[in-house]
Structure 1
């Protein structure tokens, strides 16, 4: 089944890239900085009796989705996990990679060994990496920056020169040198191609110096040329760096299939073949299933072990069982069992533990790196803060021109109150625009957390800190435009008090977005929940129904921990506490007037601002306490988000 293939990439050569000699040439042309992650070489990963069961949704009985699977892959080899949809490829891959199950009903058994020994969870995370089918990448970063930040998050011991050498080596090895300074790509800014993104995703894991790499459908969504390109580069890197690669793959082309060293073929969770790719044709030929000439062997095998579309399911299932039994009794299956046992025996006799040599960055270093990464994203990706800044500026112009130059007169009191509500409530409501930007950070966090780079603490702290200057800038710009146009309390202290409360309002609103999106990391769901929560806060913050009238359920159940309540109350106090308004005149005489709010200045046809506050039950003098409560709400949202991120699988 081995054959030659000319690279379909731009770096086409006359060298047979399917041969070992080709890779010897490639090693010399593309040296990759060697990364000594552990003081003991990872020679192999082996697994025995891997079984995964779940509860059937219909029968409620245990259902085996992976059953008694064995295997061994040695350093420098790449192994394909292949089978029809639902054959258990992803479940097996997750089990081998020690990834937590997302199902509470799933149970697993079996043994996964490194060099024939059981590694500790910490060591396994340090020596392995997992690349998702839809790999999370930050589109606003360049290719080089993606590798740089991944390296900084993984290691604190590399010097700048070593880090650059490692990055340059990977860029060269994966054919990305020409795209090093190109953005990965955002919804609004075109970046690199799909095949190049896959290579960047793999390279960003290799920069952290793993010895074992797991990939879930690395060629999904790519055409034949791009698929071959990704796996060809990966095979070269694996061979010259003694890397173990295990990849689930669905229906590869012939040329891509021939790049793999080993194949594990699954059907209905059971193994049908494990061994060299070059030997699979002879195995099935011995069973009477000759691979036809000029037919993709991978497609032939998948059709052979897939009975989902068989006309006679009973006879097809019997044929499948016969093939599985034939594999279990075959010489290759016995050789596999012996190889797995030999690896375990060697591991038991040597008993040398893998030890991590590189020092992981501390919390402060991780926060600084994440802050740097978020800062780069914030000014390049307009979705993060640019669109929100433009949106808030538009709201400020609208507010300033609708509530334009309101006089200090009785007829302006209700419009001013409405303006204060609009300026506080709708500013926080529009924080929903932060959902897509945080979702990208969340998806990146999930990947990095699974790969042991950083945890919830570093993310929550860095996410909070990066938002502070931008939210303050938004508050200031909004206020500079709208506050003076509306002719609110025209003093500098009152203006900066308004800015301060608007800033706390946005901090709380963004913290709410982080919590809701962490709970439900779906754009539609998080958007709906944040909008609903803000609608609730707007209803009970004291504007729609004054606190003196609000019924006890909403008053004591929600009103007092509604952050918009404290913003609206203190903005009202800021506006009305020291201000006096004229009453409506009813005649030519000086005392001919009608005051809607009766205060001690009524005989002078004036309304003291405190009279307006009295109908809401607002009293000055509690700003310090209210600021403390606001900070508690903000910190509470962030701590709740931290708990959610810690508990999420």
Structure 2
């Protein structure tokens, strides 16, 4: 049996901090608290040699409404793995066994019941603190809630977390300096508390915080747990004495085994009874971790601390003692019966259209402010097209010599239109990280993300092509006529959107910036190699390069469409000898360049835009696939 002090207590059922703007308590959400229990949780994973390694070994415990359970242990003890297992985020490379129950039942949590704050602060660096939290509120809170009330809730939680001074400061990232790491940590916590979840998972919530900020944050979380009846499970590494005293219960792990589970105030008695008393004026958490940390057993073996039992011996003593004294299974069944009511959560949330519009607006702001996302590439695009224009200046005459110049220039336009998007891969990958975090917490779906990303980027890419394309078209003197000019810009726009879709697919496959850029460049190189320019279509090897590479290369349709746009209807002749040989543009396309003339240039444009849609559909499919199987390419990354 558990110690006498470990008894159920009624969670306070009153409004937190007063006012209709605040985080509401249980009765205002219309639901019951979450009694989370787990029994005999074991997790294994393959090591570098393919052998199965035990990460967690038969862990049993529970977390109750209105209390904060701390998962503690030395590095590598399995606390984050246990947290991921309980929250349903166990990695695909791990195998887990055991039972996880919600109020004594095997049930799936509904939307809004749980939230997970990851150890990494995955935020959009271009947004201000208030914008980031407000956008999150718009995504999570129901459409029925008035906008003024959403704003009030955002302001209240910003105030509670001590972020008022930086509320209008940008978060910052790799390019621009923004708020501190501790402040980013608090922003991450704010975003997940907006919907008042019944169950809150925190992975290293005090990471990157100074002692004062760590205490303030955890005091807020503990107060929220008690007043709103929230069940909080937090994996913490090395809390201060003040933070440690805020916890209600402790689950101490060592080497994947459970050393202690129970009330915080009875841990000292347990360790003392087993011969490991906590010295006076020492932080209890430091003492417990020092006792079970095996990293320094070698020093003991070398005679530096001969009178002190090794951590391995201490762990064995404590594990056996705890198992002999306490029967958690019996206690959990009794408490599960008392809480045999599933949490009734109002699953109302923002609708599909609302989330789509919010995501589009947020993505638009991010693209507008992120220098590396579009604007730096925009400047490079202008410079590249200007250089191409100087090389092919005024090739728009109908001399025989202009034929090769037109062909080369068209290829350069398509090539540069596609290469310019490689530079934005870092921003793509960062956006994917934000999406994965918010997607796992149920803020929105993959379909909304893909659609919003496509619609948000399309206008930027249009500007991306119109201005540089207009400069190039004027300098080179290509075919006159508004229809030819619009077609030229449309092809450039379609190619740019095409390669952007390709790079987003790669970003979904590969979580690493450098590796993803290399893979994306390689794929584009293969597609460009088979487009029919370096070797004419009829001369391409049939296997692979002609079928299927030539027909799936979007470069082919861009180049072929621009060929038709430039050559059809023109006659080229020797400018020095008007009576000399001359060639019709149709003849050049069909017999020399081997362009397919069975359909018009507009068909090539339609095919390109159809491929844009296909690539975005592939992007959506890849997101779904990686959610099931994990990253397609992940070398961890590539240990050398």
- What do the CA deviations read for 1:102-140 (whole angstroms, capped 9, x no partner)? 21x5132122323x343334x2x4210011110311111
**Does the aligned pair in 1 maintain the 2:34–2:198 contact within 8 Å?**
no
Q: Equivalents in 2 of 1:44, 1:315: separation in Å?
A: 37
Aligned counterpart for 1:240 among listed residues 227, 249, 264: 227
Aligned counterpart for 2:420 among listed residues 427, 430, 439: 430
Residue 459 (structure 2) pairs with residue 464 (structure 1): no
Cα distance change on mapping 1:29 and 1:327 into 2, 3 Å: farther
Residue aligning to 1:9: none
**Does the aligned pair in 1 maintain the 2:21–2:152 contact within 8 Å?**
no
Residue aligning to 1:609: 585
- What do the CA deviations read for 1:315-362 (whole angstroms, capped 9, x no partner)? 6433321111112223xx34x5554222122134xxx33233241333
Residue aligning to 2:632: none
Q: Equivalents in 1 of 2:420, 2:55: separation in Å?
A: 45
Q: Secondary structure at the match of 1:139?
A: coil
Q: Equivalents in 1 of 2:533, 2:194: separation in Å?
A: 55
Residue aligning to 2:379: 390
Aligned counterpart for 1:343 among listed residues 307, 332, 335: 335
Residue aligning to 2:553: 562
Q: Secondary structure at the match of 1:189?
A: coil
**Does the aligned pair in 1 maintain the 2:294–2:310 contact within 8 Å?**
no
Residue 608 (structure 2) pairs with residue 630 (structure 1): yes
Q: Equivalents in 1 of 2:245, 2:19: separation in Å?
A: 23
Residue aligning to 1:144: 130
Residue 201 (structure 2) pairs with residue 214 (structure 1): yes
**Does the aligned pair in 2 maintain the 1:38–1:354 contact within 8 Å?**
no
Q: Equivalents in 2 of 1:319, 1:552: separation in Å?
A: 69
Q: Equivalents in 2 of 1:246, 1:354: separation in Å?
A: 17
Q: Equivalents in 2 of 1:339, 1:305: separation in Å?
A: 26
Residue 382 (structure 2) pairs with residue 364 (structure 1): no
Cα distance change on mapping 1:242 and 1:570 into 2, 3 Å: same
Pairing 1:152-551 to 2, within 5 Å after superposition: 152-154=138-140, 155-311=142-298, 316-330=311-325, 333-334=326-327, 336-348=328-340, 352-406=341-395, 408=397, 409-551=399-541
Q: Secondary structure at the match of 2:547?
A: helix
- What do the CA deviations read for 1:12-56 (whole angstroms, capped 9, x no partner)? xxxxxxxxxxxx9x9479983416675222153232332223345
**Does the aligned pair in 2 maintain the 1:128–1:213 contact within 8 Å?**
yes
Cα distance change on mapping 1:339 and 1:173 into 2, 3 Å: farther
Q: Equivalents in 1 of 2:148, 2:165: separation in Å?
A: 20
Deviating more after overlay: 621-630 vs 418-427: 621-630
Output the TM-score relative to the length of structure 1: 0.87
Pairing 1:12-91 to 2, within 5 Å after superposition: 27=17, 32-34=22-24, 38-42=29-33, 44-55=35-46, 58=49, 60-61=51-52, 63-91=53-81
Cα distance change on mapping 1:217 and 1:444 into 2, 3 Å: same
Q: Give the C-alpha shift of residue 559 in structure 1.
A: 0.5
Q: Equivalents in 2 of 1:437, 1:258: separation in Å?
A: 41
Q: Equivalents in 1 of 2:229, 2:385: separation in Å?
A: 59
- What do the CA deviations read for 1:231-258 (whole angstroms, capped 9, x no partner)? 2332333333332221111122333323
Cα distance change on mapping 1:56 and 1:139 into 2, 3 Å: closer
Cα distance change on mapping 1:107 and 1:28 into 2, 3 Å: closer
Residue aligning to 1:6: none
Q: Equivalents in 1 of 2:329, 2:583: separation in Å?
A: 92
Q: Equivalents in 2 of 1:193, 1:241: separation in Å?
A: 29
**Does the aligned pair in 1 maintain the 2:400–2:574 contact within 8 Å?**
yes
Cα distance change on mapping 1:182 and 1:214 into 2, 3 Å: same
Cα RMSD of the aligned pairs, angstroms, is 2.5
Q: Give the C-alpha shift of residue 305 in structure 1.
A: 0.6
Q: Equivalents in 2 of 1:56, 1:507: separation in Å?
A: 41
- What do the CA deviations read for 1:566-608 (whole angstroms, capped 9, x no partner)? 00011111112223334264xxxx56xxxxxxxxxxx445443
**Does the aligned pair in 2 maintain the 1:516–1:526 contact within 8 Å?**
yes
